[in-house]
A and B are shown apart, each in its own frame.
Chain A
Amino acid sequence: MRRPTLTLLLALLCTLTARADIPGFAPGNTAEANGLAIAEEADRRGQGFGDSRSTLTMTLYDGRGNSATREMSGKTLEMPDDGDRTLLFFENPPDVAGTAFLTHSHGERDDDQWLYLPALKRIKRIASSNRSGAFMGSEFSYEDLGNDEVEKYDHRYLGEADVDGVATYQLERTPKLRSGYSKQIVWLDQAELRAWRIEYYDRGDRLLKTLYPRDYEQYLERFWRPLTMEMVNHQNGRRTVLEWADYVFGLELRAGDFERDALRDIR
């Protein structure tokens, strides 16, 4: 009786510590090929969630003991042959309540973005270069919150690394499009290829920010979402914490719910 239990336990342990099976990833390949292979596999694993909805609390810390809180809710729709569509709706502070932000992210071209201003009932197109601008006064840029489409970067595999006791793959990715960064260093855990840490380097190649995703939860028995993300800005001493809650998947949202004109109905 002991033997099968042990086998089961071993099997379980193997699963837990197993490396992700990554097609195209092999020690002999070039760093570029391996980097792309890992990025594509991580992307593939994130695909198929359909749609989701969640609430988001954002806390800004200025490094001098002051903090401020923003609350919003959002929904995301996965598009079959394009990047995801995201609708963010601001709820707090009350002077910006009702403001909404719609993004159609694309692979190799700039995202389409709109802002809805409730006081005038006006929908405004936004220049997508605002990608590198600060999101609602936080240390996150629009770019950081956008979808990490594989096509947006050149990838390079840097090797294996240990991050707080977690075995990870370390990648360097260089933005192909207009970006606020010269490069990013990404650590993905070997078991599930979830981002464990991301370093952002400014255009002068100095370390600007570090992102710490935490509290990963699995949904629909497949998709991992970090419920906390902390962004630390090393150059200005400020940091921002994002906390997600109330994730719901399978809402059967339609592309029409994410068209520009859906903004005027949002309130």
Chain B
Amino acid sequence: MRCATFVSLLVVAGAGAASDWELDAEVALSARYFLQETDDPRQDQFAADLYGQVDAFRDWDQGRQRFAVSVNARGDSDDGERSRFDVQEFYWRYRWPRAEVAVGVDRVFWGVTEALHLVDVINQTDLAASPDTEDKLGQPMLRLTLRPRWGTIDAYVLARFRERRLPGTAGRLRGPVEIVADAARFESGDGRSHVDYALRYSHYVGPVEFALSQFTGTARTPAFDLIGIAPVPQIAPVYFQTDQTGLELTYVQGNWLWKLEAISARDPVQRYRAATGGFEYTWSSVFGNADLGLIAEYQYDSRNAGEVLAFDNAGLFNDDLVVGTRLGLNDFAGSEFLLLATRDRDNGGRVVTVEASRRLGSQWRLALEGQHFSAGDEADLLTILAREDYWRLSLTRYF
């Protein structure tokens, strides 16, 4: 009897709690078409995938406590490395007026620039999902945030290292090499269990915003070992230890938004520097209601490719200029358009990205994305992507 009462109490409490949940979901069907064939018969020019995402959170205790969950899953017709499940968020958070503590899996974005994200280091990138480096994997962490009047301090203990997701054997965007992610190697004897730490201080004063950050632990970006040559060269990721100091700066003046990201970091052979910065200039009310933005960013890296390992992609963007434009039509369909073109000033290598999307009705969105890669010379790392130009069309239903 007592047990039955307890169970029914739990059910009632659960039902009450359930009504406080905020739920969002989306399902997307995408098709990717690669303009060129490869020499590897295991690869296709066409692939389709189905993606689903569910977000839920609940606040209680007058908003002081929150529990949030966000999970996603993708099934790809070709690439097993793209057919994966991920927990993006699964955390509990407690908030005081000027402090906050959170435990669990979460995503954290650092940075200000558009084309390249140098400073952003908390979450691992899912390169199998998209080559744009903006798809991230959930990171288990403990976060403590303090908000004194002079800024925000975030301290992170990053409990478990997550390996980068990279295109699989049957997948594209890997070039003429096969990536054997299972053969990953770690500099630290702790491997994936290595605990990383990060600290960031950020503040803004009128038109100026800045952040300083420090990360110590396993580098998110791997270098690659050559581990086999038949039938194609096989490479495996190597994760070195690093410490990275980062700076973010934004200055806004009228239509101008100036941005800078700079890092100083260490790899096994050297301490290196990289920076990216530029501006975004926005015109409002062009062609009627549209907003038109002009983006220009420069990318610098003190490293040269292959300094650490033969297949390391360090210094890919070492002396590159990015120009782009962003157009928001501000119409009923919320139509948006983005074009970014990166050109290496040394060797002439180019990457061009196009993104366009519009709403269909009120709950659907149609998006088109394309990328073109062209290598500057034979030594250019972009050579491996020379046959990977693609278009991707996706239709998303939001709930």
Q: Is A260 an interface residue (CB 8 A)?
A: yes
B147 touches A259 (CB 8 A): yes
B331 touches A261 (CB 8 A): no
Stretch in B177-185, B296-304, B358-366 touching the partner = B358-366
The answer to whether residues A130 and B284 also contact, given A66-B332, A95-B396, A120-B134 and a CB cut-off of 8 A, is: yes
B98 touches A94 (CB 8 A): no
Main secondary structure on A side of the interface with B: mixed
List B contacts of A109 (CB < 8 A).
206
A121–B110 Cα gap in the complex (Å)? 9
A92 touches B362 (CB 8 A): yes
A94–B363 Cα gap in the complex (Å)? 6
A133 touches B291 (CB 8 A): yes
Q: Enumerate B340-377 residues with CB–CB distance to A below 8 Å.
A: 359, 362-363, 365
The answer to whether residues A267 and B22 also contact, given A95-B359, A125-B250 and a CB cut-off of 8 A, is: yes
Interface size on A, residues (CB 8 A): 42
The answer to whether residues A125 and B252 also contact, given A95-B359, A254-B97 and a CB cut-off of 8 A, is: yes
A93–B397 Cα gap in the complex (Å)? 11
Q: Is B107 an interface residue (CB 8 A)?
A: yes
Interface size class of B (residues with CB under 8 A): 35 or more
B109 touches A93 (CB 8 A): no
A100–B69 Cα gap in the complex (Å)? 20
How does the 8 Å CB contact mask read for A93-123 relative to B, with 1 for contact and 0 for none?
1111110000000000110100000001111
Query: Shortest Cβ distance from A261 into chain B, in angstroms?
Result: 5
- Report which A residues bind B (CB closer than 8 A): 60, 62, 66, 68-69, 92-98, 109-110, 112, 120-123, 125-134, 136-137, 141, 178, 180, 236, 254, 256, 259-261, 265, 267
- Report which B residues bind A (CB closer than 8 A): 22, 24, 26, 57, 68, 95, 97-98, 100, 107-109, 111-112, 134, 145, 147, 152, 202, 204, 206-207, 209, 250, 252-257, 280-282, 284-285, 288-289, 291, 330-332, 334, 359, 362-363, 365, 396, 398-399
Given contacts A95-B363, A127-B256, 19 further A-B contacts (CB under 8 A): A60-B332, A94-B398, A95-B365, A98-B24, A110-B207, A110-B254, A112-B204, A112-B207, A125-B257, A126-B252, A127-B282, A129-B284, A130-B284, A133-B285, A134-B289, A134-B291, A137-B332, A261-B145, A267-B22
Which 9 A/B pairs are nearest by Cβ-Cβ distance? A133-B284, A94-B398, A129-B255, A134-B289, A134-B330, A137-B330, A68-B332, A122-B109, A93-B362
